[in-house]
Amino acid sequence: MNLLKDSFEFGLHTQIHFGVGRLQELPSILKKYNYKNILICTDKGIANSGALDHIETILKNGDIKYEVFTEVEPDPTIRVVKKVEQLFKEKNCDAIIGLGGGSSIDTAKGVSIAVANPGDLNQFEGKNQIPNRGPDVIAIPTTAGTGSEVTHAAVLKDEERKYKMGILSEHLHPKAAILDPALLTTLPRGLAAITGMDALSHAIESYTSNQAQPITEALGLHAIELIGKWLRPFVADRTNLEAASNMMLASTIAGTAFIWGRVAAVHALSHPLGGRYKIAHGQANSMLLPVVMEYNLSSNFQKFKNIAALLGERVEDLSLRSAAEKSVDAVKELVTDLGIPKTLKDINIELSLEEIQVVAQEAFDSGIANANPKNCTVQDLVSMINTIK
């Protein structure tokens, strides 16, 4: 970015409450906003992990009235959003807590849209298509990856179309995010690995995108460094609170970076792969990230050299190109160390040529890849999918 010629915008709209044990402050945070009856939106995994019981105890002790919905599904659907919207209205709620990973937080955001804006949610796909701001969302993440706790994005699945749509709106920034790393300690190992790679994808895609600007670059770089240092120890032992704290921080910083820096071809492709073949978002990103990085290398060798160095690669005596290439090696090694499957075949998915074409076309049409630092045609996206076959 040329600071003499180019301009940029940046804002963060979510109040962040970070720290081990900060969940205890939930009642005082909610009271500050005068909510009368709050709906907790979460999934069965969280309900069974004890985290929901923990929060309910805190709310009861704090004299907070609440309702609970525990049937959020892994890929949040419009159908479930409509169900929660009904409950929200029946119980006269006035705010929503998204408790869980990206699915719970995005469902909460979907409910907020639905309550204040009548009609089919499909009409709000894209950027700033939502006319009215809905009830506040309070995000309490239990994974370190989504970034949804601070972003303006919700990804919701339309089951009829097998389509994951992105809704981006300034109305979707959560009012507050309670980031308590103690909530990460019961996260299953596989989920810790792929959600951490989702965070790394946000950091690298926003840092290298054609929308990057000085503030998002600074945030992206710091998130990459934190993830390079802490994702392995976190996945190895989720009760390591220092590692959990650093990963939770990294996830939120990377989320903040991509509000303005955007994500690119990795996310363009992972959405249709998730929508059509139920591949978990972080799993799809883990497979795609090194492939897309390799494709993008020549757009800015210096940036990829910086990524390599932050991920622990030795780059001092190398040419700029060789140093940049080390960033791809570093991400591949990370995926290997975390035990994440690397190809579609590894997760028993085989796509025909026609299916690959459809995924690539859908990725292209979503416009997400427009932020890719190197232009992508549908054929380029086809080649990327072929590389992870």
At its nearest, how many Å lie between Fe ion and the CB of residue 198? 4
Shorter beta-carbon distance to Fe ion: residue 135 or 341: 341
Six-digit token string for 181: 């790393």
Say what the alpha-carbon torsion angle 197, 265, 249, 126 is, to the nearest 10 degrees.
Answer: -130
Size of the site for Fe ion (CB under 5 A): 1
Binding mask 358-377 for Fe ion (x = CB under 5 A): --------------------
- Which residue, 243 or 280, is less far from Fe ion as judged by CB? 280
CB of 80 to Fe ion, least distance (A): 19
User: Is 134 in contact with 151 (CB distance < 8 Å)?
Assistant: no
Given the complex with Fe ion, which of 135 and 282 has the nearer CB atom? 282
Q: What would the two tokens of residue 207 be?
A: 């840092």
Question: Does 75 engage in binding with Fe ion (CB under 5 A)?
Answer: no
Q: Of 198 and 325, which CB lies nearer to Fe ion in the complex structure?
A: 198
Give every CB contact of residue 49 below 8 A, 6+ residues apart in sequence: 142, 186
CA distance 389 to 382: 11
Using alpha carbons only, how large is the chain's radius of gyration in Å? 20
CB nearer Fe ion, residue 198 or residue 362: 198
| Beta strands at 38-41 and 126-127: parallel, antiparallel or unpaired | unpaired
Pairwise CA distance, residues 317 & 319, whole Å: 7
DSSP 316-343: TTS-HHHHHHHHHHHHHHHHHHTT---S
Query: Running DSSP on this structure, what letter comes out for residue 77?
Result: B
Q: Which residue is nearest to Fe ion (CB)?
A: 198
Which C-beta is closer to Fe ion: that of 201 or that of 240? 201
Least Å from the CB of residue 202 to Fe ion: 6
Q: Yes or no: say if 203 and 263 are a contact pair by the CB < 8 Å rule.
A: no
Q: To 10 degrees, the CA torsion angle through 234, 189, 17, 10?
A: 80
Using a 10 angstrom Cβ sphere, with 0-12 exposed, 13-18 middle and 19 or more buried, the burial of residue 163 is middle
Helices then strands, counting H and E runs in the chain, come out as 14, 9
Nearer to Fe ion, 175 or 281 (CB): 281
The Cα–Cα gap between 252 and 320 comes to 30
Residues 183-212 contacting Fe ion, CB under 5 A: 198
Q: How far is the CB of 322 from Fe ion (least distance, A)?
A: 29
CB of residue 266 to Fe ion, shortest distance in Å = 8
Minimum Å gap between C-beta 32 and Fe ion is 30
Closest separation between CB of residue 263 and Fe ion, Å?
A: 6
Nearer to Fe ion, 26 or 266 (CB): 266
Give the separation between CA 387 and CA 389, rounded to whole angstroms. Answer: 6
Least distance in angstroms from the C-beta of 223 to Fe ion: 13
Q: How far is the CB of 267 from Fe ion (least distance, A)?
A: 6
Residues 83-112 binding Fe ion (CB under 5 A) are none
β-bridge mates for residue 138, sequence order? 97, 176
- The dihedral sign for the CA sequence 244, 182, 12, 84: positive
For Fe ion, the closer CB: 198 or 294: 198
Report in angstroms how near the CB of residue 95 gets to Fe ion at its nearest: 25
In the bound state with Fe ion, the residue whose beta carbon lies nearer, of 106 and 198, is 198
Residue 156 has which token pair? Answer: 């919701």
| Nearest residue to 45 via CA among 127, 143, 168, 146 | 143
Which residues between 330 and 349 bind Fe ion (CB under 5 A)? none
**Which residues form the interface with Fe ion (CB under 5 A)?**
198
